Structure 1
Amino acid sequence: MTAVSRKAEPPSPAVELDYRDLFNGSPSGYIVTLEDGTIAEVNTTFANWIGRAREDLIGSSLLALLPVGDRIVYSTHALPQLSVGRSFAELAVDFLDADGTRLPALISATRQPAEGTRPALDRVVVFNAHARRLYERDLVRALRAAEKAEAARASAEADVLEKQAALREKDRILQESLAESRRKESLLQTVLDTVEVGVSVVDEEGNVILTNSRQRFIQRRALPPGSTQANECELLIFGPDRVTPLPPELRPVRRTVQGQSFSDQLVWFGTGDQQRAFSVTARSVQRQGGFQGSVIAFSDVTGLVNAVAAKEDFVANVSHELRTPLTSIMGYLDLALEEEEEIPAHVATSLKIALRNSEKLLELVSDLLSAAAGPSSIKQQSSDLADLLRSAMTSAAPRAEINRVKLVSDFPAQLPAFVDPQRIGQVIDNLLSNAVKYSPDGGRVTVSAWSTGDSVHFQVADTGIGMTAAEQTEVFTKFFRSGTSRKAAIPGVGLGLVITKNIVEGHQGTITLNSEVGRGTVFTVRLPAAG
């Protein structure tokens, strides 16, 4: 019997392997793509990692899962290597998850050539490189920090040497500056002691930190009898009337401590024959936006004040002497005109012209006397300001009609005030007359008034020719007339507003103005309310 030989069969494996389970359960991601990057298969690990369904990934493009920069790198570097060498290793790329978040990874791939009807396939292995990327970043950061520390050490050493040299140079410059400062201080003190103006520099608390010999002499003039030194509150300083002691809050140094800057404050130092007038000007010193003290200058204006007073007395005396002959002339002219029917017509005309001119001259003399007298003749009493305003508007109506000016009233039926009705009536007449006079081509003049409890106000606003800013500063000066009024030949001598201001201030009131060329002027007067 012939034995039959049989082919040996391979031994059965000891363990059955589920390769698909191994494929999907691998800790690394696996992607199988066609040559153009179309995904043919992907394992569950990769799909879960980027947060996309496996079914959605199959048929999509691997390139679509990469950011633009990595997509270019894969197309220009990885694919050519697969075509030529059929593999590449550890290409660092980022994948985009479903939310667009970048997921760092390292990929390696091999290409299985086409066989029969099966196309070429690229098998891509994906490793999660998040921890490695962090480690690399930390390492780079540590290296850079070490480089910076070394650079900082070298820089610090160089800085120390440089600063030592700078300190030596600064010490030299400081010594030179100190010597120059002492020289300038001596020069400044010499200059200050040379000028004929008293100068004091005070700090923010009013303490004198610099003064000149002239100012020290002025201070001694104001010392109380028997005193060798005193603070400002104890000095004999008086107001413009020479007899009223200046209140502490109005004294120059106290005003500067309050941060005020001012010009031409008139004060009198001392008493008796030694009393002198000073014009005080102060300017605050600002440093880094804060008040650091003030510079105060005291100019002796005794001669100027006495000259102005003498001029006032002269004007008043001359005006008083002119009034008597003018009154006599006007009386005789009135007597002559009573016989108008018995004298020739041309003589009567000449007499009337002389009488009108005499009346104008007498009015000018009266204004001069009023300006010189000031507010001394004021007699205040309870009055109705509304009545005074209505009366003034009635008087101004004919002139307003000639100038084609519309008068508008804006005040209550009654407005009590504690004033001298005759003098305040003169104020209203002056302001209203000016408003009409300086609106020669028509317009509107509005008279308004109101009460604020402890005071009453009235205002005269016109739409006339207005004034420049420079003219507004001079408007209350005697005999001042604006250039526009002179060019327009508007009559006047420049005393009305001076008299008005004197009367208002005699009532312890104030008068202010606001004007704009071509737009008009507004005068506002504040007066005490009813007592």
Structure 2
Amino acid sequence: MPNVSAENQSGEGDTPPSTYEAHFHAAASGYLVLSMDGTILDVNRTLAGWTGHLREGLLGTNIVELMPLADRVLFASYAVPQLAIAGCFTEMAVDLLCADGSRIAVLLSGVRSAGSDPGSGLDRISVFNASKRTLHERELVEALRKAEAAEAARAAAEEELRQKQKALEEKDRVLQASLALSREREALLNTVVNAVDVGLLVVDTEGQVVLTNAHLMSAWQKVMGNVALSGEHLTFGPDRVTLLSEDENPVRRAVAGESFSNQLVWFGAPGDANQLALNVSARPIRADGVFSGSVIAYTDVSALVHALSAQEEFVANVSHELRTPLTSIMGYLDLALDEEDLPPAVSGALKVAVRNSERLLSLVSDLLSVASGSKKMEVRPVNVAEIVRAGLTSVGPKAKANAVDLVPEIPSELVAKADPQRLAQVVDNLLSNAVKYSPDGGIVRVRLWREGQDVRLQVSDTGMGMSAEEQEKVFTKFFRSRRAVASAVPGVGLGLVITKNIVESHGGTLTFNSSPGQGSEFTVSLPGAAREAVSPAH
């Protein structure tokens, strides 16, 4: 290997070796002399000092051993081809590995000089310390990054501010819309509250008035005049004169948080022509389970109460008027039956007339009972089978006239606890209805049997039947179905009401099934009784 140390690198006429060596080692830049394969032939002390390597330790090593792997690849792919083709390269940025494991950023520039032998030559590499430059670049990059971050933060802050402004505008829009909707709902509520045909009073937990409607104020002024509305007002019981106690007062009950319906009270001074009958209901107001007041509804039922009173008075008067001729008829029938040697047919007809007169008198008594609300029962063990057979005999002529077949399934004896006269009325009502509502012919089946401790009587027909709507009203006073009215079927709409009341007063039940055009089926259930206790049915 040729000697290329700093001592013999000067040629003839060059700077003396000692002067060149001094300049070589004292240069501000690092210098490397390489063979064409990258072997370090010489290195100045400046570069050795930068890297912390001993100068003698670097001699004979390859330059790429001073570089990280990535820079080795870069040197081999860029510098080596440039030296071979162009004979030089400039400012290649690489890192050099220091003895302590750290790195130093440098810029390499190189030039190749041909040797005396073909294919030989030396590569002179200048090394410039780029640490400060890199630091400045890094500081610049960091400053740029911070500036970009600050700009991004400013933009983000502005965007956040815009979003908050947008959110505030949206909240304001929603608030305005909610306020408008609230006003609309308030107007709607006021319209509805004032449109209903019911007086409304809203009170707080102390009984103070919170809200009223026009209907209530109209009723208040009618009764109380110019007296200021108050939750505390005089109310009376159904008799119109007894002042309600605090526990019974509707407002006090509502303030206590009670929920109730259909309390009948009278509002206004007793004897006052403007006194009103009111049906009162109340519901508590609870927000999140906390009681905050009550809504009280007052329905004016004065007209209904007066109408019912007039109806009851009319029924009572008519019933009393019917009693006199009936009593006379029954007296003459008894006289006729007292005659001796009456033909059996005449005697039987008179007995049927007596029975029907007694039934009619019983109906009149029922009308009086309905009007007065009183009923007298004389319950004892009776043979229900005997009563049913008597009822079939009584309804027989009417069934024959209507071409209705009576199909009984009755045992010889079946005992129940009942008032015989009232039970006969139940049987007559059910049989009469079954025949009456089968005007075009058909079949009426009558079954009597014991089920457990109870006695069951079932009367079914194949008549006109009832719709679902009519079935809901079947036990309402004076109700008659449309088909019954259209077909001119006689009746006043009290039979089933009376029948149900009689059955329930015996501790029994009355149930039914019906379909339009298919007929109806009524079933009576009564408490049974022991055989030995049977009393006559009449």
Scaled by the length of structure 2, the TM-score of the pair is 0.45
* Larger CA Rg, structure 1 vs 2: 2
Scaled by the length of structure 1, the TM-score of the pair is 0.46
